[in-house]
Amino acid sequence: MDKMGYPVLTEKTIRLLEKNQYSFNVSAQSDKAEIKKWIELFFGVKVGSINTHALPNKKKKIGTITGYTVRYKRIIITLKSGYSIPLFSSK
């Protein structure tokens, strides 16, 4: 469960909630099967599909040292009809 990140709430992801799609940031090493298993166990829902993409690195500069931010993936999960994640419910 340590590879699961946090939900992403942006203007686009809020629009996706109407289509029963939820967005999360996860570890870059996690794969779709592992993510699906954790989402179904943790939230008690059925996942229809998962789309993933790796966000580009951002350059960080601290003094004279230049590095990059931590890599992570963003996933968009589409749930089967009749399911929702209670974390985002409006009740």
CA 74, 22, 4, 35 torsion-angle sign: negative
In whole angstroms, how far apart are CA 30 and each of 7, 10, 11, 37, 47? 16, 23, 25, 11, 16
Tell me, what's the pLDDT at 87?
63
Q: How far apart are CA 22 and CA 8, in angstroms?
A: 8
Domains and CATH numbers, the chain: 4-83 (3.30.70.330)
* pTM attached to this predicted model: 0.78
pLDDT, tens digit only, all 91 positions of the chain: 567 778 888 899 889 988 999 999 998 888 899 989 988 998 889 999 999 998 888 899 988 999 988 788 999 999 999 888 876 455 5
